[in-house]
Amino acid sequence: MYKQLIVLAILTITGCNTSETTNDINIETSKHETTLKEYWDYQDNEMIYNGGIKMIPITTPKGEFKVWTKTIGNNPTKKVLLLHGGPGMTHEIYECFNSWIPKEGIEIIYYDQLGSYYSDQPSDTSLWNVKRFVDEVEQVRVALDLNKDNFYLFGQSWGGILAMEYTLKHQINLKGLIISNMMASIPEYNNYAHEVLGPQLPADVLQEIMNIEKNQDFENPRYAELLMNHHYTQHVLRKPINQWPEAVNRALKHLNPEIYVYMQGYSEFGISGDATLKNWDRSDDISDIKVPTLVIGSKHDTMDPKHMEWMASEIPFADFLLCPQGSHLSQYDDQKTFFEGLIQFINTVDSDEFQKM
């Protein structure tokens, strides 16, 4: 039923003809369009004063800290909280959303998780675990007054793990979920990296990478050089390094290596070393996700697109969007496919026809 409605919405929006049984369906994606006054009518004086920025206090087992958020737009039914990757990356990898989402009347909320550059950065590895991050997202939700009538959660890469975990615990609060460029199993991700993507590298390059990993010589500058020039430009962002967006380069400079290495390892070539996420697997649980879901995968991703398509088939109310030109950051290397699909999903879930189902 949900997949059929998505198709009908797309056909309606693009003006394509459908069969006689669907010609009369008209999804009013513009019902909740906001006026200019409403668009800027924040109820929070701090956000008005700071251009949408709000520092949110977070309670943790190690005390109270603050995390950085920035809201752009103000839509009563379409609010998208963005969970960045890493762990330890920043919201900056999503700055290109500014060119696509606000003009559609959709509210977006940038957010640096605890430990990331614009938020507090305590140095305590006991804080870097999935359960605590889930609790943090819930505290952010409450502080921003997000609820099942307006709350869309977007998570990419590590943010996709966090989004899945949050949904499995708190989906009653969600209107819609977007899992972008993330598989439901780290062991499967590792297999894909080493069994499928690795052999695509030049043989001498792969051998040198494997030797460095075998010797755990991860601090060797040659390791980053090999991966950046041969793996990242093919599977993380498909552009020459000198053409990578300024926002992405800035985010990489702001990466918190303490969190990244502790949870992910030393690179995007699978999970390395004793990183704490190496055994994470929710393959058997994603069918418990009952909220409308869009899974985004890319043909050239570090993640297996076939696995992500399978995820969409397992989640009861889900669709799959493939970015054929994209890689791990498909919001940059396949922008049109990525953003048009994301916008259509949000507008469809927000439509009267869908809400009546």
Q: What is the pTM of this model?
A: 0.88
**From the first residue on, what is the mean pLDDT of each consecutive set of 10 residues in the chain (357 residues)?**
38 33 32 44 69 95 98 95 98 98 96 98 97 98 97 98 98 98 98 96 96 92 95 97 97 97 95 92 98 98 98 98 98 98 97 81
Give which of 328, 331, 330, 338 is closest to 231, Cα–Cα. Answer: 328
**CA 169/CA 45 separation, integer angstroms:** 31
Helix or strand run (H / E) with residue 110: strand 107-112
User: Catalytic positions, please?
Assistant: 157, 301, 328
pLDDT at 120: 98
User: How many other C-beta atoms lie within 10 A of the C-beta of residue 146?
Assistant: 23
In contact, 88 and 115? CB cutoff 8 Å: yes
Q: Taking the C-alpha atoms of 6, 8, 10 and 15 in order, what is their torsion angle to the nearest 10 degrees?
A: -170
User: Taking the domains of the chain in order of start, what are their residue ranges?
Assistant: 36-351
**CA 162/CA 84 separation, integer angstroms:** 9
In contact, 347 and 335? CB cutoff 8 Å: no
Fold topology of 36-351: Rossmann fold (3.40.50)
**CA 246/CA 252 separation, integer angstroms:** 10
